[in-house]
Amino acid sequence: MRKLSQVIIFLFISFKLLSQNDTLSDKYFVQANAGYGFVFEHRSSISYYVKGHIPEIKLKIGKSTTGTKQWQELFKYPDLGFGYYFADLHNPNVLGLVNAAYFFIDVPYVRTPKLNFSYNFDLGLAYLSKKFDIQTNYINTAIGSHINAYINLGILLDYKLSDKITFSNSLNFTHYSNGKFALPNLGLNIINFQSGVKYYLKKRYNEHKYIKTYVDKNKVLYKNIFYVNFSSGLQQIAISTQKKYMCNSLNFNYGRVLSKKHIIGIGLDFFNNSGLYVNLNKSYYTNIYDKSYNYRMGMHVYTDVVFNKFLFTIQAGYYLYSKWKDVEVVYNRFGLIYRLSKHITTNITLKTHLVKADYVEFGLGYYFLTK
């Protein structure tokens, strides 16, 4: 409660500072939501330590975009900002409490003078007070580290009560995990419903003030994108040891720019996972010590959604070459790519085998566009 009080005080001070600026205050809002949810038991072992429903609190400071950048108009003037999330996982000895800080974007799908129907994406870091410990908390097979990724996907329904106040409801899917940086890492998935109040510092931004250039989303200067990227990450392969193994990938991509919002493409991947032969040798084989088993090659298809300099990427791939014949053959990536400059990108992505995390990777890339 002390930490929660500090967050509320911080948000209040930020609120007062913003409200003193008359040129900005009609774009900014604060929001408080309370909700109730339950753990989606995607593994049978999780059911042993799920004890009940989960109360949640979410606090947000946000800004309504107005079309000062072209992408804002393309996405119907989304709300952006940052927030704080708190949840009691209803098992103080095994799961404990969650505190998270995150960035968010709320993108309208249907907008009317009274109602807004939007979809939401939150991304941040969560601190879980309880994690797996082989001596004191061996039951917790979901969370292997205190620090985890916080990801939330939601659908929102806002109803305007007045020029300053909006009643907000949301249905959410919330996920915490560390991407197999520390084991165990089954992760926790929570489905929840939240309600709250959004308060605009001056009054809700009037739609007639939006900058409207009526941009043609399908009109693009360049149709083709070529992209090469190198990424690295760390992976723990056994609970009994804290040793981490380096995982590298090099991929070459060709993309077709469908619009200012969407890119689809195909790519070729080369992988080197330094712990792969160690892990699979223990599990499947007895006399293999050839490190060439660490190398794999695959092909993937992908789609990117473009938010200004950010790209949200989803990839689905298939291993074309692997010496391990009886293990996973399909892989996926989910994550963010950021354009640092005209030709340089950086990325953070989660590589998985379907719903099973493999590792989190960070990378740098080079791209160029052609007509």
Pair of tokens at residue 336: 């963010």
Q: How many CA atoms lie within 13 A of 299 on its CB side?
A: 5
Q: Mean per-residue pLDDT for 152-178?
A: 94
First to last CA, the chain: 57
State the pLDDT at residue 45. 77
The distance from CA 66 to its chain's CA centroid, rounded to whole angstroms, is 24
Q: Which domains are delineated in the chain?
A: 2-209 (2.40.160.20), 224-370 (2.40.160.20)
Is the model's pLDDT at 52 over the cut of 60? yes
State the pLDDT at residue 22. 46
What pairs with residue 32 in β-bridges? Answer: 59, 197
Cα angle for residues 16, 17, 20 (degrees, 5° grid): 85
State the pLDDT at residue 242. 75
| Percent share of the chain, pLDDT over 70 | 87
What pairs with residue 226 in β-bridges? Answer: 254, 368
Q: Mean per-residue pLDDT for 342-371?
A: 94
Q: How many helices (H) and strands (E) does the chain have?
A: 3, 16
Closest CA to 250 of 370, 368, 361: 361
State the pLDDT at residue 161. 92
pLDDT tens digits, residue range 3-51?
555 555 555 555 454 444 445 555 889 999 999 999 988 777 787 888 8
pLDDT tens digits, residue range 78-122?
999 999 999 999 999 999 999 999 999 999 999 888 899 999 999
Pair of tokens at residue 108: 């309208």
Q: How confident is residue 326, by pLDDT bands cut at 50, 70 and 90?
A: low
pLDDT tens digits, residue range 297-316?
999 999 999 999 999 999 99
Q: Looking at per-residue confidence, does 366 or 184 come out higher?
A: 366
| Percent share of the chain, pLDDT over 90 | 60
Q: DSSP states of 197-254 as a string?
A: EEEESSSPPPGGGS------TT--S--EEEEEEEEEEEEE--TT---EEEEEEEEEEE
Q: DSSP states of 140-193 as a string?
A: --S--SSEEEEEEEEEEEEEE-SSSEEEEEEEEEEEEE-TTSSS----EEEEEE
Is the model's pLDDT at 221 over the cut of 70? yes
Is the model's pLDDT at 292 over the cut of 50? yes
Q: How confident is residue 203, by pLDDT bands cut at 50, 70 and 90?
A: low
CA 205, 206, 208, 209 dihedral sign is: negative
Q: Mean per-residue pLDDT for 52-68?
A: 92
The model's pTM: 0.87
